[in-house]
Chains A and B, each alone.
Chain A
Amino acid sequence: MTGDIVQMGAYIGAGLACTGMGGAAAGVGHLVGNFISAAPRNPSAAGGQTATMFIGIAFAEALGIFSFLVALLLMFAV
Protein backbone atom coordinates (compact mmCIF):
# COMPACT_ATOMS: atom_id res chain seq x y z
CA MET A 1 0.00 0.00 0.00
CA THR A 2 1.29 3.42 -0.83
CA GLY A 3 0.25 6.89 0.17
CA ASP A 4 0.89 9.13 3.07
CA ILE A 5 -1.10 9.84 6.16
CA VAL A 6 -2.55 13.03 4.68
CA GLN A 7 -4.20 11.06 1.90
CA MET A 8 -5.45 8.52 4.41
CA GLY A 9 -6.97 11.26 6.49
CA ALA A 10 -8.57 12.78 3.41
CA TYR A 11 -10.18 9.49 2.38
CA ILE A 12 -11.44 8.77 5.89
CA GLY A 13 -12.83 12.29 6.08
CA ALA A 14 -14.55 11.82 2.73
CA GLY A 15 -16.24 8.67 3.99
CA LEU A 16 -17.35 10.39 7.17
CA ALA A 17 -18.69 13.38 5.24
CA CYS A 18 -21.03 11.11 3.32
CA THR A 19 -23.10 10.48 6.44
CA GLY A 20 -24.50 14.00 6.03
CA MET A 21 -26.45 12.89 3.01
CA GLY A 22 -28.58 10.59 5.18
CA GLY A 23 -29.97 13.62 6.98
CA ALA A 24 -30.72 15.32 3.67
CA ALA A 25 -32.55 12.25 2.37
CA ALA A 26 -34.57 12.00 5.59
CA GLY A 27 -35.50 15.68 5.37
CA VAL A 28 -36.58 15.54 1.74
CA GLY A 29 -38.55 12.35 2.31
CA HIS A 30 -40.29 13.90 5.31
CA LEU A 31 -41.27 16.96 3.25
CA VAL A 32 -42.58 15.03 0.29
CA GLY A 33 -44.36 12.56 2.55
CA ASN A 34 -46.20 15.37 4.30
CA PHE A 35 -47.13 16.86 0.97
CA ILE A 36 -48.40 13.56 -0.40
CA SER A 37 -50.45 12.85 2.70
CA ALA A 38 -52.03 16.30 2.60
CA ALA A 39 -52.46 16.89 -1.13
CA PRO A 40 -55.26 14.38 -1.82
CA ARG A 41 -57.32 15.94 0.97
CA ASN A 42 -57.59 19.16 -1.01
CA PRO A 43 -56.64 18.49 -4.62
CA SER A 44 -57.58 21.89 -5.99
CA ALA A 45 -55.33 23.69 -3.52
CA ALA A 46 -52.51 21.19 -3.91
CA GLY A 47 -51.48 22.40 -7.35
CA GLY A 48 -50.59 25.85 -6.08
CA GLN A 49 -48.41 24.49 -3.33
CA THR A 50 -46.16 22.29 -5.47
CA ALA A 51 -43.93 25.31 -5.99
CA THR A 52 -43.59 25.75 -2.22
CA MET A 53 -42.79 22.07 -1.90
CA PHE A 54 -40.00 22.35 -4.44
CA ILE A 55 -38.52 25.33 -2.63
CA GLY A 56 -38.57 23.33 0.60
CA ILE A 57 -36.96 20.36 -1.12
CA ALA A 58 -34.21 22.60 -2.49
CA PHE A 59 -33.44 23.99 0.96
CA ALA A 60 -33.37 20.55 2.57
CA GLU A 61 -31.32 19.02 -0.21
CA ALA A 62 -28.82 21.86 -0.37
CA LEU A 63 -27.23 20.90 2.92
CA GLY A 64 -26.86 17.31 1.81
CA ILE A 65 -25.22 18.56 -1.36
CA PHE A 66 -22.84 20.65 0.76
CA SER A 67 -21.72 17.54 2.61
CA PHE A 68 -21.34 15.63 -0.67
CA LEU A 69 -19.28 18.53 -2.00
CA VAL A 70 -17.00 18.28 1.04
CA ALA A 71 -16.60 14.57 0.40
CA LEU A 72 -15.75 15.13 -3.26
CA LEU A 73 -13.28 17.88 -2.44
CA LEU A 74 -11.55 15.67 0.11
CA MET A 75 -11.40 12.75 -2.30
CA PHE A 76 -10.11 14.49 -5.38
CA ALA A 77 -8.84 17.91 -4.47
CA VAL A 78 -6.63 17.27 -1.45
Chain B
Amino acid sequence: MATETHGEAEAGLVFHPMDQFQVTPLFGAGPVEWFTITNATLWMGLSILVIFIILVLGARGRALVPTRSQSIAELAYGFIYKMVEDVTGKDGVAYFPYIMTLFMFIVVANFLGLLPMAFTTTSHIAVTAVMAMAVFLAVTVLGFVKNGFGFLSVFWISSAPLVLRPILALIEVISYFVRPVSHSIRLAGNMMAGHAVIKVFAAFAPLVLISTGIGLVVTPLSILAITAIYALEVLVSFIQAYVFAILTCVYLRDALHPHH
Protein backbone atom coordinates (compact mmCIF):
# COMPACT_ATOMS: atom_id res chain seq x y z
CA MET B 1 0.00 0.00 0.00
CA ALA B 2 1.47 3.45 0.75
CA THR B 3 4.30 2.22 2.94
CA GLU B 4 7.30 4.47 3.34
CA THR B 5 10.41 3.36 5.12
CA HIS B 6 12.87 5.95 6.31
CA GLY B 7 15.64 3.46 6.92
CA GLU B 8 13.89 2.31 10.08
CA ALA B 9 12.80 -1.14 11.09
CA GLU B 10 9.07 -0.38 10.99
CA ALA B 11 7.23 0.90 7.96
CA GLY B 12 5.90 4.45 8.13
CA LEU B 13 2.55 5.26 6.64
CA VAL B 14 0.64 2.02 6.66
CA PHE B 15 -3.01 2.95 6.63
CA HIS B 16 -6.17 1.08 5.86
CA PRO B 17 -8.99 3.56 5.36
CA MET B 18 -11.52 0.84 4.66
CA ASP B 19 -10.94 -1.04 7.93
CA GLN B 20 -13.43 1.18 9.72
CA PHE B 21 -16.24 -0.32 7.64
CA GLN B 22 -15.64 -3.89 8.73
CA VAL B 23 -18.49 -5.66 10.49
CA THR B 24 -17.02 -7.55 13.45
CA PRO B 25 -18.79 -9.61 16.10
CA LEU B 26 -19.07 -7.89 19.46
CA PHE B 27 -18.68 -10.91 21.69
CA GLY B 28 -15.99 -13.37 20.81
CA ALA B 29 -14.37 -13.84 17.45
CA GLY B 30 -16.11 -16.10 15.01
CA PRO B 31 -17.86 -16.09 11.70
CA VAL B 32 -20.51 -13.43 11.24
CA GLU B 33 -23.83 -15.20 10.81
CA TRP B 34 -27.19 -13.54 10.41
CA PHE B 35 -27.82 -13.83 14.13
CA THR B 36 -24.44 -12.62 15.41
CA ILE B 37 -24.44 -9.47 17.52
CA THR B 38 -22.01 -7.25 15.65
CA ASN B 39 -20.84 -3.67 15.94
CA ALA B 40 -23.49 -2.83 13.33
CA THR B 41 -26.16 -4.16 15.70
CA LEU B 42 -24.75 -2.06 18.52
CA TRP B 43 -24.71 1.16 16.55
CA MET B 44 -28.17 0.62 15.08
CA GLY B 45 -29.44 0.03 18.61
CA LEU B 46 -27.72 3.22 19.73
CA SER B 47 -29.41 5.12 16.88
CA ILE B 48 -32.81 3.91 18.06
CA LEU B 49 -31.93 4.85 21.63
CA VAL B 50 -30.95 8.37 20.59
CA ILE B 51 -34.14 8.77 18.52
CA PHE B 52 -36.13 7.59 21.53
CA ILE B 53 -34.41 10.10 23.78
CA ILE B 54 -34.92 12.97 21.36
CA LEU B 55 -38.50 12.34 20.32
CA VAL B 56 -40.19 10.39 23.11
CA LEU B 57 -38.39 11.62 26.20
CA GLY B 58 -37.98 15.10 24.78
CA ALA B 59 -41.67 15.67 24.20
CA ARG B 60 -42.77 13.80 27.33
CA GLY B 61 -44.07 16.93 29.02
CA ARG B 62 -46.49 17.81 26.18
CA ALA B 63 -46.52 21.40 27.37
CA LEU B 64 -48.37 23.95 25.31
CA VAL B 65 -45.36 26.22 25.49
CA PRO B 66 -42.60 23.76 24.65
CA THR B 67 -39.49 23.31 26.72
CA ARG B 68 -36.15 23.18 24.98
CA SER B 69 -36.11 19.43 24.42
CA GLN B 70 -39.75 19.38 23.35
CA SER B 71 -38.94 22.21 20.97
CA ILE B 72 -36.23 20.16 19.30
CA ALA B 73 -38.62 17.24 18.85
CA GLU B 74 -41.30 19.57 17.48
CA LEU B 75 -38.84 21.18 15.08
CA ALA B 76 -37.84 17.81 13.65
CA TYR B 77 -41.47 16.71 13.40
CA GLY B 78 -42.61 19.97 11.81
CA PHE B 79 -39.76 20.07 9.33
CA ILE B 80 -40.52 16.61 7.95
CA TYR B 81 -44.30 17.09 8.15
CA LYS B 82 -44.05 20.27 6.09
CA MET B 83 -41.84 18.53 3.54
CA VAL B 84 -44.18 15.56 3.20
CA GLU B 85 -47.21 17.81 2.87
CA ASP B 86 -45.52 20.06 0.30
CA VAL B 87 -44.27 17.24 -1.90
CA THR B 88 -46.96 14.56 -1.69
CA GLY B 89 -50.03 16.70 -1.05
CA LYS B 90 -52.82 16.23 1.45
CA ASP B 91 -53.42 12.53 0.84
CA GLY B 92 -49.74 11.71 1.18
CA VAL B 93 -49.66 12.84 4.78
CA ALA B 94 -51.04 9.43 5.81
CA TYR B 95 -47.59 8.02 5.02
CA PHE B 96 -45.80 10.59 7.15
CA PRO B 97 -44.82 8.10 9.94
CA TYR B 98 -42.85 6.01 7.45
CA ILE B 99 -41.02 9.01 6.03
CA MET B 100 -40.31 10.30 9.55
CA THR B 101 -38.92 6.92 10.60
CA LEU B 102 -36.67 6.78 7.56
CA PHE B 103 -35.43 10.34 8.02
CA MET B 104 -34.80 10.09 11.77
CA PHE B 105 -33.00 6.76 11.49
CA ILE B 106 -30.76 7.93 8.66
CA VAL B 107 -29.89 11.31 10.18
CA VAL B 108 -29.16 9.88 13.63
CA ALA B 109 -27.16 6.96 12.21
CA ASN B 110 -25.16 9.37 10.04
CA PHE B 111 -24.47 11.74 12.94
CA LEU B 112 -23.54 8.93 15.32
CA GLY B 113 -21.06 7.66 12.76
CA LEU B 114 -19.22 10.96 13.00
CA LEU B 115 -18.19 10.30 16.60
CA PRO B 116 -14.56 9.13 16.83
CA MET B 117 -14.15 5.36 16.77
CA ALA B 118 -17.79 4.97 15.77
CA PHE B 119 -19.22 2.74 13.08
CA THR B 120 -21.47 4.25 10.43
CA THR B 121 -24.24 1.77 9.80
CA THR B 122 -25.62 3.67 6.81
CA SER B 123 -22.30 3.39 4.99
CA HIS B 124 -23.06 -0.25 4.26
CA ILE B 125 -24.94 -0.99 1.08
CA ALA B 126 -26.71 -3.79 2.95
CA VAL B 127 -28.45 -1.29 5.22
CA THR B 128 -29.30 1.30 2.59
CA ALA B 129 -30.32 -1.27 -0.02
CA VAL B 130 -32.90 -2.72 2.34
CA MET B 131 -34.33 0.72 3.01
CA ALA B 132 -34.37 1.64 -0.69
CA MET B 133 -35.88 -1.71 -1.65
CA ALA B 134 -38.58 -1.29 0.99
CA VAL B 135 -39.40 2.15 -0.41
CA PHE B 136 -39.47 0.83 -3.99
CA LEU B 137 -41.70 -2.14 -3.19
CA ALA B 138 -44.00 -0.10 -0.97
CA VAL B 139 -44.40 2.63 -3.58
CA THR B 140 -45.03 0.16 -6.42
CA VAL B 141 -47.58 -1.87 -4.46
CA LEU B 142 -49.27 1.35 -3.31
CA GLY B 143 -49.38 2.60 -6.89
CA PHE B 144 -51.17 -0.51 -8.09
CA VAL B 145 -53.51 -0.62 -5.10
CA LYS B 146 -54.55 3.01 -5.44
CA ASN B 147 -54.74 3.26 -9.22
CA GLY B 148 -55.11 -0.27 -10.53
CA PHE B 149 -53.51 -0.61 -13.94
CA GLY B 150 -53.83 3.14 -14.37
CA PHE B 151 -50.58 3.28 -12.43
CA LEU B 152 -48.81 2.35 -15.67
CA SER B 153 -49.71 5.81 -16.97
CA VAL B 154 -46.73 7.05 -14.97
CA PHE B 155 -44.59 5.76 -17.86
CA TRP B 156 -46.69 7.30 -20.61
CA ILE B 157 -45.68 10.94 -20.96
CA SER B 158 -48.76 12.56 -22.48
CA SER B 159 -47.00 15.91 -22.86
CA ALA B 160 -44.52 14.49 -25.36
CA PRO B 161 -45.09 14.10 -29.14
CA LEU B 162 -46.87 10.83 -29.95
CA VAL B 163 -43.93 9.51 -32.00
CA LEU B 164 -41.57 9.74 -29.04
CA ARG B 165 -43.89 8.23 -26.45
CA PRO B 166 -42.92 4.53 -26.89
CA ILE B 167 -39.20 5.32 -26.66
CA LEU B 168 -39.82 7.58 -23.69
CA ALA B 169 -41.92 4.85 -22.05
CA LEU B 170 -39.02 2.42 -22.38
CA ILE B 171 -36.61 4.95 -20.91
CA GLU B 172 -39.07 5.68 -18.10
CA VAL B 173 -39.43 1.99 -17.25
CA ILE B 174 -35.66 1.54 -17.11
CA SER B 175 -35.19 4.63 -14.95
CA TYR B 176 -38.02 3.44 -12.67
CA PHE B 177 -36.18 0.21 -11.96
CA VAL B 178 -32.87 2.02 -11.49
CA ARG B 179 -34.47 4.12 -8.73
CA PRO B 180 -33.72 1.77 -5.79
CA VAL B 181 -30.16 1.32 -7.07
CA SER B 182 -29.38 5.03 -7.12
CA HIS B 183 -31.42 5.65 -3.96
CA SER B 184 -29.33 3.19 -1.95
CA ILE B 185 -25.91 3.82 -3.47
CA ARG B 186 -26.25 7.59 -3.06
CA LEU B 187 -26.52 7.31 0.73
CA ALA B 188 -24.02 4.46 1.17
CA GLY B 189 -21.49 6.01 -1.21
CA ASN B 190 -21.68 9.44 0.40
CA MET B 191 -21.17 8.02 3.86
CA MET B 192 -18.40 5.63 2.87
CA ALA B 193 -16.57 8.20 0.76
CA GLY B 194 -16.70 10.88 3.46
CA HIS B 195 -15.41 8.63 6.20
CA ALA B 196 -12.73 7.10 3.99
CA VAL B 197 -11.46 10.59 3.09
CA ILE B 198 -11.28 11.51 6.79
CA LYS B 199 -9.29 8.34 7.43
CA VAL B 200 -6.93 9.06 4.52
CA PHE B 201 -6.12 12.52 5.86
CA ALA B 202 -5.85 11.09 9.35
CA ALA B 203 -3.16 8.71 8.14
CA PHE B 204 -0.94 11.68 7.32
CA ALA B 205 -1.46 13.32 10.70
CA PRO B 206 1.14 11.35 12.73
CA LEU B 207 3.88 12.07 10.17
CA VAL B 208 5.62 14.43 12.62
CA LEU B 209 6.29 11.45 14.84
CA ILE B 210 8.06 9.58 12.06
CA SER B 211 10.08 12.21 10.26
CA THR B 212 10.19 15.55 12.05
CA GLY B 213 11.36 17.60 9.08
CA ILE B 214 8.51 17.27 6.66
CA GLY B 215 6.19 16.26 9.49
CA LEU B 216 6.12 19.81 10.87
CA VAL B 217 4.55 20.93 7.60
CA VAL B 218 2.31 17.98 6.85
CA THR B 219 0.84 17.35 10.29
CA PRO B 220 -0.83 20.76 10.87
CA LEU B 221 -2.09 20.78 7.27
CA SER B 222 -3.59 17.34 7.64
CA ILE B 223 -5.27 18.26 10.92
CA LEU B 224 -6.79 21.32 9.21
CA ALA B 225 -7.92 19.11 6.34
CA ILE B 226 -9.52 16.64 8.74
CA THR B 227 -11.41 19.48 10.43
CA ALA B 228 -12.65 20.86 7.12
CA ILE B 229 -13.76 17.46 5.79
CA TYR B 230 -15.40 16.74 9.16
CA ALA B 231 -17.45 19.92 8.89
CA LEU B 232 -18.42 18.96 5.34
CA GLU B 233 -19.41 15.50 6.58
CA VAL B 234 -21.73 16.99 9.20
CA LEU B 235 -23.48 18.93 6.44
CA VAL B 236 -23.53 15.94 4.09
CA SER B 237 -24.97 13.67 6.81
CA PHE B 238 -27.98 15.91 7.23
CA ILE B 239 -28.41 16.64 3.52
CA GLN B 240 -28.24 12.97 2.53
CA ALA B 241 -30.88 12.06 5.09
CA TYR B 242 -33.07 14.90 3.81
CA VAL B 243 -32.51 13.86 0.19
CA PHE B 244 -33.40 10.23 0.96
CA ALA B 245 -36.62 11.35 2.63
CA ILE B 246 -37.60 13.86 -0.05
CA LEU B 247 -36.93 11.40 -2.87
CA THR B 248 -39.12 8.88 -1.06
CA CYS B 249 -41.83 11.57 -0.99
CA VAL B 250 -41.36 12.23 -4.72
CA TYR B 251 -41.71 8.51 -5.54
CA LEU B 252 -44.75 8.35 -3.27
CA ARG B 253 -46.32 11.29 -5.10
CA ASP B 254 -45.73 9.50 -8.40
CA ALA B 255 -47.51 6.45 -7.00
CA LEU B 256 -50.47 8.38 -5.62
CA HIS B 257 -50.91 10.70 -8.62
CA PRO B 258 -49.46 8.95 -11.68
CA HIS B 259 -50.83 11.41 -14.22
CA HIS B 260 -48.09 13.85 -15.16
Contact = CB atoms under 8 A, between A and B. Distances in A.
Given A55-B247, A76-B16, A62 B196 contact: no
Interface of A: 51, 54-55, 57-58, 61-62, 65-66, 68-69, 72, 76-77
Chief secondary structure at chain B's binding surface: helix
B18 A72 contact: yes
Given A51-B246, A68-B189, A69-B193, A76 B17 contact: yes
Contacts of A68: 189, 193
Given A72-B18, A76-B16, A77-B18, A58 B243 contact: yes
B185 A62 contact: yes
A25 B196 CA distance: 19
Find the residue from B17, B193, B242 having the highest chain A CB count within 10 A.
B193
19 contacts: A51-B86, A51-B246, A54-B239, A55-B243, A55-B247, A55-B250, A58-B186, A58-B240, A62-B182, A65-B186, A66-B185, A68-B193, A69-B189, A72-B17, A72-B192, A72-B193, A76-B16, A76-B18, A77-B18
Interface in B220-248: 239-240, 242-243, 246-247
Contacts, number: 45
Contacts of A72: 17-18, 192-193, 196
A65 B188 CA distance: 10
A51 B189 CA distance: 21
Interface of B: 16-18, 83, 86, 182, 185-186, 189-190, 192-193, 196, 239-240, 242-243, 246-247, 250
Chief secondary structure at chain A's binding surface: helix
Contact of A69 (B86, B185, B243, B250): B185
A65 B123 CA distance: 13
B63 to A, nearest CB: 30
B120 to A, nearest CB: 14
Contact of A54 (B16, B196, B243): B243
